[in-house]
């Protein structure tokens, strides 16, 4: 991990100052009985208002832990943020006191979780849970808050909102519950929404409804959206920029159209080739060999090297920096943490 310092220097140099959210060189680890799990190892990303950043990764890649650190809902201990900055509208959240952060949570940024049934309180009506946002943050009366809750449910297109506001989470279907989660996140019109696998638990036809709703509200309120997912299809549908994570680091960051056309990291390339396609009947699928690394024992050099078909000696010793990728016709910023991004790009 000796070379991570050099990569942060290149990672922050070109970013303009006025981003909505900027994560700089974030490191998070978990102390467990068996040792220290390095979940996030130097993550940099930024989102602007109106922009959608998709964070793509498999389980254990650190995508959710990064988001929890941003929201300030990381379990500490066993988690620990060892270094880095999280700048929200220019303010470093990690330097704020807990009561200051609480004010930002909900009003400034909000989160939508994967599993709506376990994220909602089963013994409170959805109206009470939605209204609570207004009572706590805006000091409204219960009655006004209830009216606001109905308004929100209308906005996320829950039919018969007036009647259903007194119902409990279990009385709603999976898709409707996810709409309530979205309504709750939107309640105070935050400028940033973090959606952690918002449609993974839903059926495809319902997933399409929910994603459409989310995209529409984002446009309307001009919010920044961080979409955390493992689904390359969902990403292609909604994202502007993609950050691919592996073993706690961003290995590739690119505009969505560029990355699908030509990935600049062997891991991204492997992922794209390993998914079966709806529009093609393929032969054997390409499978990335091996398994993701154990976070307590990340391989030296590039963490992907034991699974990489292109790995050379340098990959086993030097951590590749998240270097700038350039080629003719590329206008936006694009980065890859591979020593051989040029070769990967060529195919």
Binding region for another protein (CB under 8 A): 58-59, 173-176, 203-209, 211-212, 230-239, 256-257, 260, 270-272, 274-279, 281-282, 284-289, 291-292
Beta bridge partners of 227: 54, 195
Contact predicate 228/216, CB 8 Å? no
ω into residue 72 within 30 of 0, thus cis?
no
Cβ closest to another protein, residue 189 vs residue 216: 216
Shortest gap between Cβ of 150 and another protein (angstroms)? 20
Dihedral angle of Cα 308, 28, 6, 20, to the nearest 10 degrees: 110
Cβ closest to another protein, residue 11 vs residue 175: 175
Report how far residue 53's alpha carbon sits from residue 47's, in angstroms, rounded to the nearest whole number.
6
Shortest gap between Cβ of 27 and another protein (angstroms)? 24
Cβ closest to another protein, residue 70 vs residue 271: 271
CA distances (Å), origin 16, targets 142, 203, 204, 320: 43, 40, 38, 24
Cβ closest to another protein, residue 113 vs residue 267: 267
Cβ closest to another protein, residue 114 vs residue 191: 114
**What would you report as the CA-atom Rg of the chain, rounded to the nearest whole angstrom?**
21
Contact predicate 310/344, CB 8 Å? yes
Shortest gap between Cβ of 137 and another protein (angstroms)? 31
Shortest gap between Cβ of 4 and another protein (angstroms)? 24
Beta bridge partners of 196: 228
Shortest gap between Cβ of 270 and another protein (angstroms)? 7
């Amino acid at each position: 991990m000796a070379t991570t310092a050099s990569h942060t220097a290149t990672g922050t140099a070109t970013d303009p100052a006025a981003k909505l959210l900027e994560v700089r060189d974030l490191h998070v680890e978990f102390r467990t009985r068996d040792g220290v799990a390095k979940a996030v190892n130097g993550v940099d990303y930024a989102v602007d208002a109106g922009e959608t950043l998709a964070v793509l990764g498999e389980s254990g890649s650190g995508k959710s832990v990064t988001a929890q650190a941003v929201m300030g809902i990381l379990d500490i201990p066993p988690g620990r943020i060892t270094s880095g900055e999280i700048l929200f509208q220019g303010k470093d959240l990690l330097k704020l006191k807990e009561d200051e952060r609480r004010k930002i949570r909900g009003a400034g940024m909000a989160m939508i979780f994967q599993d709506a049934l376990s994220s909602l309180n089963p013994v409170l009506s959805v109206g009470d849970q939605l209204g609570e946002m207004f009572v706590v943050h805006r000091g409204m009366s219960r009655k006004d808050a209830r009216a606001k809750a109905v308004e929100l449910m209308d906005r996320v297109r829950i039919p018969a909102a007036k009647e259903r506001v007194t119902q409990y989470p279990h009385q709603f279907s999976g898709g409707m519950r996810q709409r309530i989660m979205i309504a709750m996140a939107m309640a105070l019109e935050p400028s940033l929404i973090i959606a952690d696998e918002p449609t993974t638990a839903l059926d495809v036809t319902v997933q399409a409804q929910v994603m459409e709703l989310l995209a529409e509200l984002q446009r309307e309120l001009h919010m920044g959206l961080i979409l955390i997912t493992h689904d390359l299809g969902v990403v292609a549908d909604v994202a502007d920029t993609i950050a691919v994570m592996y073993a706690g680091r961003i290995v590739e960051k690119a505009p969505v159209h560029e990355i699908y056309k030509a990935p600049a990291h062997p891991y991204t390339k492997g992922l794209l080739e390993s998914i079966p396609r709806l529009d093609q009947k393929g032969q054997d699928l390409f499978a990335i060999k091996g398994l993701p690394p154990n976070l307590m024992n990340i391989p030296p050099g590039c963490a992907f090297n034991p699974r990489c078909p292109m790995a050379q000696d340098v990959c086993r010793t030097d951590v590749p920096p998240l270097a700038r990728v350039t080629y003719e016709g590329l206008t936006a910023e694009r980065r890859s943490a591979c020593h051989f991004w040029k070769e990967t790009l060529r195919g």
